[in-house]
Amino acid sequence: MHALGIDIGGSGMKAAPVDVATGTFVTDRLKIATPRPAVPDAVADVVKQLTTSFSWSGPVGITFPGVVTDGVTRTAANLDPSWIGTDAGTLFAKATGDQVRVLNDADAAGVAEMTFGAGIGQRGTVLMLTFGTGIGSALFTQGILVPNTEFGHIEIRGHDAETRASERAKELGDLSWGKWAGRVDEYLQHIEALLSPHLIIVGGGISKEADKWVPRLTGIRARIVPAVLLNNAGIVGAAMATSAAVSAAPDTSGATGTAADSLRLFLIEPGGRPRAGHS
């Protein structure tokens, strides 16, 4: 089972066809710079370019760095504000001519890590955080995702947390590893007070250099581990979200709303078999 995963970021848009049973890329990924300004039509053009480059026809999963409900993008902290209220699902389906599913970027990365990476077999409360242009979050309990959490925007010292503790904040402020890790530690202490996760998975590009900062996060009870899929998690999770194995999982939630909204991303065992999320 293959699906194309596309990860829309503030600086680059990355894509690869993914074998969703193994979480691996079928061919090398491609990256195209995010257009500036990153308005919907310009981004849709790049989505089209990426699908064409792979001569792709089939399911496409696309991450977005903001809240997504029913395929509609609701926030755009680090992209053009014209995304707010855009029906991204319809826009991208038109651009590609394919079946498309759009979801939050950290949610996608979290689903991939829970299935193929640092979260395998973790049934308690798990929080995945991605440190990049912003801070993204994905919250799991018993392996089931609560979509669209936005814990990068909690307030710390009167500021939006991601403006103090994202990778970009480190770059903009030219912060040392020690200084930045101190800010991340403070941020995680707030998060821990609110959620008491058993495990925190830290991802995003900067997780490549986890040895420089993760050992400095000493104020937290929860176990903290770096992401395993690094920056590929978004692509893998996007592909998984659109794949038949995920949408075929039974809805036992009793909740109203579309599948895309409730995002019943039941995790898939490596091997492709959907597993019930609440054993």
Question: Which residues lie near ligand BGC (CB under 6 A)?
Answer: 65-67, 75, 77-78, 104-106, 130, 132-134, 136, 150, 152, 162
Beta carbon of residue 255, minimum distance to ligand BGC (angstroms, whole number): 21
One-letter identity of residue 172: L
Burial (0-12, 13-18, 19+ Cβ within 10 Å), 13: buried
CB of 234 to ligand BGC, least distance (A): 9
Smaller CB distance to ligand BGC: residue 34 or 133? Answer: 133
- Count Cβ atoms below 10 Å from residue 255 Cβ, excluding itself: 9
Cβ nearer to ligand BGC, comparing 12 with 178: 12
Of 51 and 75, which has the nearer Cβ to ligand BGC? Answer: 75
Spatial contact of 70 and 260, defined as CB atoms under 8 Å apart: yes
- Residue carrying the six token digits 């395998």: 120
Give whichever of 56 and 231 is closer to ligand BGC, judged by the CB atom.
231
Shortest Cβ 233–ligand BGC spacing (Å) = 12
Q: Which residue's C-beta sits nearest to ligand BGC?
A: 134
Closer residue to ligand BGC in complex, CB, 78/115: 78
- The residue behind tokens 């020690």 is 178
Going by C-alpha positions, the residue among 109, 106, 92 that lies closest to residue 149 is: 106
| AA identity, residue 149 | T
H helix and E strand count, the chain: 10, 16
Contact (CB, 8 A) for 101 and 62: yes
CB of 96 to ligand BGC, least distance (A): 22
Distance in Å, CB of 107 to ligand BGC, minimum: 8
